[in-house]
Amino acid sequence: MIRILLITAIMILPVHAYAASQSMPLKSVLIDLNNKSSLQRGAQIYVNNCLGCHTLKYQRYVKFVDHLQLPAETIENNLIFTTNKDGEATKIGSLILNSVNPDHATEAFGVMPPDLTLIARSRGADWLYTFLTSFYKDETRPLGVNNSLYSNVGMPHVLVWMEGLKKQSSETGGYEYINKGTMTSAEYDNAMTDLVNFLVYVAEPAQLDRYRIGFWVILFLGVFSFIAFLLKSEYWKDVK
């Protein structure tokens, strides 16, 4: 018994240690991979605003047909904007890449924007959501913005047109908006939920299959337990 408790404690420990090492409390985001329209909106925000710098090099566009329930034409017309070296439109079976030149990117931002296919696994959904909602104006930084979660981040606030620009308020310790974007703050939070939902899906598309298969497995176990119970009652009824 003590051994089982010890093993459980060891399994839980690293999660807590990781959570404690955060510089600020993370906001929590509700992930719902069954919400296809949320995943579709997230994909749209991603290709329009993030793909220019961050690839998803372990994912192919064609996977969106099944996983996001998007018709192939919709993907070709609305999500694929890149071309190959000969100028032909990228094929739907291709990996999700961009044409960033690493030397130029490093010169511009100090670092190469990382691939984000697995970012939701390494950082976690809440971290991503907090990161995307924590950009604020900071004149001392080269790009004019900073991030409360990721200090001195090398990434510009690319969604400033959606969110608007906020500054840290010295009185309340929170933020106050100095420029409006195209969205209200609640709409922006919803858009970031969609974007993080999409990144969680991309990091492990097999989750969708697991949910589906899991449902049948649990159902089978339920039905099987019932049959096993009937069988047991049948076997033991004369023994008593």
Q: Give me the residues that bind ligand HEC (CB under 6 A), please.
A: 49-50, 52-54, 109, 111, 113-114, 116, 119, 123, 128, 131-132, 153-156, 158-159, 195
Q: How far is the CB of 117 from ligand HEC (least distance, A)?
A: 12
Of 6 and 111, the one with the shorter C-beta distance to ligand HEC is: 111
Instruction: Identify the residue whose tokens are 């034409």.
Output: 73
Of 71 and 159, the one with the shorter C-beta distance to ligand HEC is: 159
Please check whether residue 77 is in contact with residue 235, taking contact to mean a CB–CB distance below 8 angstroms.
no
Q: How far is the CB of 1 from ligand HEC (least distance, A)?
A: 40
Q: How far is the CB of 153 from ligand HEC (least distance, A)?
A: 5
Q: How far is the CB of 162 from ligand HEC (least distance, A)?
A: 9
Structure tokens that stand for 227 in this block: 């049959």
Euclidean distance between CA atoms 26 and 36, whole angstroms: 25
Of 43 and 155, the one with the shorter C-beta distance to ligand HEC is: 155
Q: How far is the CB of 125 from ligand HEC (least distance, A)?
A: 11
Which amino acid type is present at position 121? R
Of 11 and 143, the one with the shorter C-beta distance to ligand HEC is: 143
Burial 98-130 (b: 16+ CB within 10 A, else e): bebeeeeeeebbeebbebbbbbbeebbbbbbbb
Distance of CA 26 to the CA centre of its chain: 15
Euclidean distance between CA atoms 182 and 47, whole angstroms: 18
> What is the maximal distance between C-alpha atoms in the chain?
85
| Residue nearest ligand HEC by beta-carbon distance | 50
Of 71 and 114, the one with the shorter C-beta distance to ligand HEC is: 114
